[in-house]
Amino acid sequence: MDPSFIYEAKGQILIIHMPKELDHHNCRNLRYETDLLMAENYISKLIFDFSCTTFMDSSGIGILLNRYKQIKASGGVVSFYGASPQIQRILRLGGMMNLMPQFESKEEAIYR
């Protein structure tokens, strides 16, 4: 169990490497941390990396939805990559597949 998120910033791009277990407990810090990062840096592209994520519930959807609204409001884009079939099921049920494009790899997410 690793509750901390790993952030990777490249200019206006912010990549959030999601934890293995994405539940309410592990989501608690994300809101605060991304608020800080997004206040200090202009982020026009937010990318979620689910490569390491094996579990996710509706708390994870909440995190994505909030960040999506925030980035959209400032004219940016949100996408994700690395989602396993199980994570894709959760994202689909949570309505995220209609909101943000899915990419095969980090590179694709960055350059598209």
Partner 1 sequence: MQQKENIKRPSGEVMHLTIDSISENEEFARVVVAVFATRMNPTLEEIDDIKTAVSEAVTNAVIHGYQNREGKIQIEAAVQENVLSVTISDDGVGISDIERAMEPMFSTLPEERTGMGFSFMEAFMDRVEVISAPGKGTSVTMRKKIGRERR
Q: Return residues touching partner 1 (CB under 8 A).
A: 1, 21, 23-25, 28, 31, 55-59, 61-62, 65, 86, 89-90, 93-94
Query: What does the block give as tokens for 43?
Result: 């982020």
- Between residues 44 and 59, which has the closer beta carbon with respect to partner 1? 59
Nearest in space to 65 (alpha carbons), one of 37, 36, 40, 90: 90
Nearer to partner 1, 12 or 29 (CB): 29
Please, what is the minimum distance in Å from the beta carbon of residue 29 to partner 1?
11
Instruction: Supply the Cα-derived Rg of the chain in whole angstroms.
Output: 13
Nearest distance from residue 103's CB to partner 1, in Å? 23
55-56 and 102-103 strand pairing: unpaired
